[in-house]
Structure formats: structure tokens, C-alpha cells
């Protein structure tokens, strides 16, 4: 494994005497009381009970020289780079919650069944929130493929509950896995799984590089921040960026944790990616206060305002697969 200097830190600063991780761009946090007050007073627009997911053929296995992405839903992708199949933040459960009867409810079914996927060679988990790290899904993945797994510092203990032995990475650390070079990248977000464990586990994204030169970036979950320009500078010529465009309302409460579509376009430009695809929207009711179908419409308007072509930054249908020549 090759390590680079760490941009995250177990903070020795007196403001964080308990060793929690801190965002380097905006260290704003909310107390449990503030979160409860938002939940108690929020009036989000109604979401449909179910949104139909059109049928798409199961993804085919791609070989070297191609880069492809199948959108399962939310932040779950089958990403294929250099002939290697990578699964990101897999959640097939009906709720993004520790409970089966409560918590954010899925209104869109996963775009592909887990059993419909080709062999998964590598698993990436960006942070510990329930809409990104789902123990029942991870157990099913272990039973089916048991792939190697990478995750930011502190999260391996959660994957271990599913029987998965994960390697932890700090920001800018890299590791060779499944024939790829994977670098953990900074993000502007936070972590908490139980309420009392705020920011004790690190959050981040990943850049995946193949020997054939294919290069993709999975942002995980992030607000707009200068990290995107730094990632673009360190990894020029990204073939593909997978960027969150939803869970941005209300801005006063989540603006330092999630991008809106306009900021996602800024991130695309700062990264210098050849193309980007939007994610993290319209899947789980209860995560956000924006209308379920608003993020793609706002992305389209923001893309046009920036003078970008439709193919530069789009949103695939749930279950749809796209692929391109690496470097093209």
C-alpha cells in the first residue's frame, strides 16, 4: 500500500478534545436537539407511495478499455473500470434505517436485483450512514461474492458485523485491490450511526484507477467544498464522476453536508471530469425536504446555465447501464 500525507485528522485542537474527525472546509455541526427540532417541525412535500422503475437488462460484464456504470439507486452503483466490477455503498433494503418498521422508506425499488449483477470484485463503502452502509445488504454480498472491501478510517467495525473484513483508508491513502488502485478522497460531510457517535468514523469518496488508464471518481456524500478542485488536480482526466445531487433541503440545516444540483455542476467543473452522473436523490422518503422529483430538473437547468452539453452531466434511469471507451 502507498500512503500519502493525510488531510484528515484525529483533531488535537481544543475545540475537539475527544478526538472526533472534523471537516477541513466547514466545521459546522448540529446537536441532537437541533436535529430533533428539525425533524419535529419540518413540513416536507408529500412523496408518492411508490415510483415505478422501468425494466432495464442486467448489466453485462465489460472488459479492459471500457468504463461503465449501472445505477441501482441512491448511492449504489455497479461501477466497471478496467474489467473490474466495483459495487459502491450498496443498499437493497426497504428502509435506510436500523429498524425494519420505521425510518426513511424506499419509494423506488433497486434498479437491478443483486442476483442480476455480474461477479463483484471490489466493495467500496464511503461512510456509516444507513443509506450508505446497510448490514443486511452487506451480508447478502458476503454470501454471494465475499469481495475485498475498502472504507474510510473507523468503518471496518460496522462491515465486520456483516462478516466482511474491510481495509480502512485515511484521506489520500491509496491501496491496490482487485487489480485497481483506489485512493480515499476528502469530502465535506459527517458521520453518525447511533446518535451519540457523531464524527467518530471518517467519511470520504474514492478515485478508482485501472492499469489501462481508466479513472473514475465516486464522491460518496458531500457538500460543495474546495476538495473537488484538489481531487481534480491530483487526478486529471477523470473519465467519470458520480456526484450527489439530492438531499439538499432545507439549506440552513444541511447545506454544509449535501450539495444541491447547482453546486454539483460546480463540482463537475472543478473536477474537470469528462462526464458526470447524478445520484443520491428520489429514493428514500424522509431523508430530505425537497420534492422527490426536483433534483434532476434542477440539474438540467443548472447544466444548461453553465453551457454544458447534456452528455456532460446526466441522470440515468434507475437500473440503466452506460459505458464508454476509457479516455474517450
Q: pLDDT at position 171, please?
A: 95
Q: pLDDT at position 39, please?
A: 72
CB 323 within 8 A of CB 66: yes
Tens digits of per-residue pLDDT, 256-284? 999 999 999 999 999 999 999 999 999 99
Q: Tell me the whole-structure pTM to 2 decimals.
A: 0.93
Alpha carbon distance 202, 129 (integer Å): 11
Arithmetic mean of pLDDT over the chain? 92
Q: At what angle do helices 294-305 and 261-271 cross, to 10 degrees?
A: 50
Q: Which residues contact 108 (CB under 8 A, 6 or more apart)?
A: 50, 51, 53, 73, 282, 283, 318
Alpha carbon distance 126, 39 (integer Å): 25
As a whole number, mean pLDDT of residues 301-308 equals 98
Among 8-17, 166-175, 176-185, the minimum mean pLDDT is found in 8-17
Higher local confidence (pLDDT), 269 or 1:
269
- Alpha carbon 272 to chain centroid, angstroms: 19
As a whole number, mean pLDDT of residues 276-302 equals 97
Tens digits of per-residue pLDDT, 210-269? 999 999 999 999 999 999 999 999 999 999 999 999 999 999 889 999 999 999 999 999
- Domain ranges across the chain: 62-325
Query: What CATH number labels 62-325?
Result: 3.60.15.10
Q: pLDDT at position 213, please?
A: 93
Q: pLDDT at position 252, please?
A: 87
The dihedral region occupied by 80, where left means phi > 0, alpha psi between -120 and 50, and beta the remainder, is beta
Q: pLDDT at position 155, please?
A: 97
Consecutive H or E run containing 85? strand 84-88
Using DSSP, state whether 208 is helix, strand or coil.
strand
Copy the grid coordinates of residue 62.
465489460
Q: At what angle do helices 261-271 and 227-234 cross, to 10 degrees?
A: 30
Quick one: which of 24, 17, 32 has its CA closest to 197?
32
Q: pLDDT at position 15, please?
A: 39
Q: Identify the residue whose cell numbers are 482526466.
A: 237
Q: Which residues contact 242 (CB under 8 A, 6 or more apart)?
A: 69, 77, 79, 88, 216, 217, 218, 219, 276, 277, 279
| Residue 51 predicted with pLDDT over 50 | yes
Using 50, 70 and 90 to split pLDDT, how confident is the model at 100?
confident
The dihedral region occupied by 85, where left means phi > 0, alpha psi between -120 and 50, and beta the remainder, is beta
| Residue 52 predicted with pLDDT over 80 | yes
Cis peptide before 309 (omega within 30 of 0): no
| Residue 1 predicted with pLDDT over 70 | no
Tens digits of per-residue pLDDT, 4-29? 434 444 443 433 447 789 998 888 87
Alpha carbon distance 8, 322 (integer Å): 34
Cα angle 126-279-132, degrees, rounded to a multiple of 5: 30
Q: Which residues contact 57 (CB under 8 A, 6 or more apart)?
A: 321
Residues above pLDDT 90, as percent of the chain: 82
CB 89 within 8 A of CB 124: yes
Please name the residue ranges forming H helices in the chain: 32-41, 135-144, 156-160, 227-234, 251-254, 261-271, 294-305
Q: pLDDT at position 284, please?
A: 98
| Residue 185 predicted with pLDDT over 80 | yes
Amino acid at each position: 500500500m502507498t500512503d500519502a500525507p493525510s488531510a484528515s485528522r484525529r483533531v488535537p485542537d481544543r475545540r475537539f478534545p475527544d478526538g472526533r474527525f472534523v471537516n477541513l472546509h466547514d466545521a459546522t455541526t448540529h446537536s441532537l436537539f437541533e436535529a430533533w427540532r428539525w425533524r419535529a417541525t419540518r413540513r416536507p412535500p408529500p412523496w408518492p407511495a411508490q415510483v415505478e422503475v422501468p425494466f432495464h437488462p442486467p448489466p453485462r460484464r465489460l472488459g479492459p478499455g471500457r468504463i461503465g456504470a449501472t445505477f441501482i439507486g441512491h448511492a449504489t452503483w455497479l461501477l466497471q473500470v478496467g474489467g473490474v466490477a466495483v459495487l459502491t455503498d450498496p443498499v437493497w433494503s426497504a428502509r435506510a434505517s436500523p429498524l425494519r418498521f420505521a425510518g426513511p422508506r424506499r419509494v423506488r425499488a433497486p434498479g437491478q436485483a443483486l442476483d442480476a449483477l455480474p461477479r463483484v470484485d471490489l466493495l467500496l463503502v464511503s461512510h456509516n450512514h444507513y443509506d450508505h452502509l446497510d448490514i443486511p445488504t452487506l451480508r447478502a454480498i458476503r454470501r454471494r461474492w465475499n469481495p475485498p472491501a475498502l472504507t474510510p478510517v473507523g468503518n471496518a467495525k460496522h462491515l465486520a458485523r456483516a462478516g466482511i473484513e474491510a481495509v480502512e483508508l485515511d484521506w489520500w491513502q491509496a491501496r491496490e485491490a482487485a487489480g485497481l488502485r483506489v485512493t480515499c478522497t476528502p469530502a465535506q460531510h459527517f458521520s453518525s450511526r447511533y446518535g451519540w457517535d457523531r464524527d467518530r468514523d471518517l467519511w470520504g469518496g474514492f478515485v478508482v484507477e485501472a492499469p489501462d488508464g481508466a479513472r473514475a471518481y465516486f464522491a460518496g456524500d458531500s457538500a460543495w467544498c474546495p476538495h473537488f478542485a484538489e481531487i481534480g488536480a491530483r487526478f486529471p482526466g477523470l473519465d467519470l464522476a458520480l456526484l450527489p445531487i439530492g438531499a439538499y433541503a432545507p439549506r440552513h440545516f444541511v447545506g454544509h453536508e449535501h450539495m444541491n444540483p447547482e453546486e454539483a455542476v460546480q463540482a463537475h467543473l472543478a473536477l474537470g471530469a469528462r462526464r458526470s452522473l447524478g445520484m443520491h436523490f428520489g429514493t428514500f422518503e424522509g431523508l430530505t425536504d425537497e420534492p422527490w422529483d426536483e433534483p434532476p430538473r434542477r440539474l438540467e437547468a443548472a447544466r444548461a446555465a453553465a453551457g454544458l452539453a447534456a452528455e456532460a452531466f446526466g441522470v440515468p434511469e434507475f437500473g440503466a447501464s452506460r459505458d464508454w471507451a476509457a479516455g474517450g
